[in-house]
Amino acid sequence: MIDFWAGRRVMVTGGAGFLGSAVVRTLRDSGAGEIFVPKSGDYDLRSLPDIERALADSRSDMIIHLAAVVGGIGANRENPGRFFYDNAIMGIQLIEAARLAGIAKFLTVGTVCAYPKFTPVPFHEEELWNGYPEETNAPYGLAKKMLLVQSQAYRDQYGFNAIYLIPVNLYGPGDNFDPASSHVIPALIKKCVDARDRGDAFIEAWGTGSASREFLYVEDAARGIVLAAERYDGREPVNLGVGSEITIRDLTELIARLTGFRGEIRWDPSKPDGQPRRALDTSRAREAFGFSAGTSFEDGLRQTIAWYESTRKVPS
């Protein structure tokens, strides 16, 4: 890998974020010396002139597009228009500008939210178009899915080497723990730790707990992305995951145990469960570029909980 990355100039959009920081670390460990991260304060990737300026400033020959406007079920329900527009316009203009600039390879990280609501489990990449996504995150999922269409169309017409990955839900140290926009694992960790420290008798959890999800540790995801950037040049989308699922009820009970919260878990069925089940078939990633996840779920959760407890602000 070091020989492959030596001398390459790589732009990582979203490279200062949760997943992006892990990807940048993995690139550096793999031998990439010239990595350009366009910070949002300097480059608005919704603006074509800013995209063109970033390309000129970076002199990149590869782009890994991770930048996204994203959140949990609540944030998706409150911002469907923003989530659709910002994600679509960033990707569409960036891919076109990259093509015109002669970028040699473009990797887009999509979303598992693009899959149909009732996809048979495990999700195979061929099922991506067999239905409409779950309603609460459909605008975000469809915006990201259009970048797959664009990537394949540009490959067919222009010979543009654009590849597309579909990671399952991510978690790990450095995740977003803001309750207004966080995903399920950081939201539950924060609830349980804060309730434990306050001595609360119970926490409230959204939905019925019957929905299932698959979770990929962020460092594993970063390794998969870098492997694909190095080894995969195909037109078909590729799932990134671990190949197993857990119900939200079991997840909540596990996080309560690992955080030491001993109170009651009260479920609020008036809140949405989201997609009923979510788990990926990961055979294509294994066969195409040798990726398989290496972090056990409990180990990953323990590291995430430890990071949150070491960085949070405890009221005095």
Peptide bond into 315 cis (omega under 30): no
The span from the CA of 294 to the CA of 284, in Å, is 17
Please, which residues bridge with residue 166 across strands?
239
Angle at 70 between CA 66 and CA 72, to 5 degrees: 135
Percent helix, percent strand, percent coil in the chain, to nearest 5 = 45, 15, 35
The span from the CA of 118 to the CA of 302, in Å, is 31
Strands 215-217 and 169-171: parallel
- Concerning whether 140 is annotated as a catalytic residue, the answer is yes
The span from the CA of 112 to the CA of 164, in Å, is 12
The span from the CA of 82 to the CA of 205, in Å, is 26
Q: In degrees rounded to 5, what are phi and psi of residue 226? A: -70, -40
The span from the CA of 122 to the CA of 242, in Å, is 11
What is the DSSP secondary-structure string of 57-120? HHT-SEEEE-------HHHHHH-HHHHHHHHHHHHHHHHHHHHHHT-SEEEEE--GGGSBTTPP
Cβ distance 153 to 96 under 8 Å? no
Contacts of 307 (CB under 8 A, 6+ apart): 172, 173, 174
Cβ distance 311 to 192 under 8 Å? no
List the catalytic residue out of 43, 140, 164, 217. 140
Of 60, 59, 6, 61, nearest in space to 29 by CA: 6
- Active site (catalytic) residues: 140
